[in-house]
Every structure is written in structure tokens, then in C-alpha cells.
Amino acid sequence: LRVLDLSNNKLQSVNRKTFIGLKNLDILRLNSNSLRYNTDRLPQGCFQPLESLKQLSIQMNNPQGVVDAFVLPDETIKDLNMLETLELDVNADNEDIL
């Protein structure tokens, strides 16, 4: 499996076991779910099994304008050594995107 599109699935969170076994995945799309960009919904290490991931898209996950939906903690993506593209929503009022 090289591409996994989980967009529009009403996902509210992922955990450290969600992506186990997907070490060859190149592209992951998590767009248009209910994932807020914080360590409760996207915990540290949740993407660690994705050793080959090159593109991660987590756009349009801002439930009803929640401000902290735009702050993606560093520890959430620190294991993605092969990552080339990270697609996020950007809130112009928040300078702490990463």
C-alpha cells in the first residue's frame, strides 16, 4: 500500500497503533475529518510506523473554528524523516503553526 486516503471519514483521533504495518506508505490524506491539531487527537508517535511517508495532508479539520486546531505540536511529526510535503490549514492569526 503506497497511498491511503482517509478523508471524509469523520475521524476524531488516531493513536500510536493506527498506522502499524504501513511502513511503506508514501502518501497519507486525513482531510475533512474532525482531527484537531493537538496531542489529544494526534498524539506523539502516532505517525512513527510510517517510515517512508513523503506526503501528509491534514487539511480542513477545523471543527467549528476551534483556534487550537491550527497548532500542530512538533512531537506529532518528529518521526517523519522522509517527509517532503506537509499540507495543513493555516490560521493567519496564529504564528505557532509548528
pTM over 0.75: yes
Q: What is the pLDDT of residues 35-72, one digit of tens each?
A: 877 778 888 899 999 999 999 999 888 656 555 545 67
Region 69-97: mean pLDDT is 74
* Contact between 47 and 15 (Cβ < 8 Å): no
pLDDT band with cut points at 50, 70 and 90 for residue 93? very low
d(CA 7, CA 78): 22
Architecture (CATH level 2) of domain 1-91: Alpha-Beta Horseshoe (3.80)
pLDDT score of 92: 44
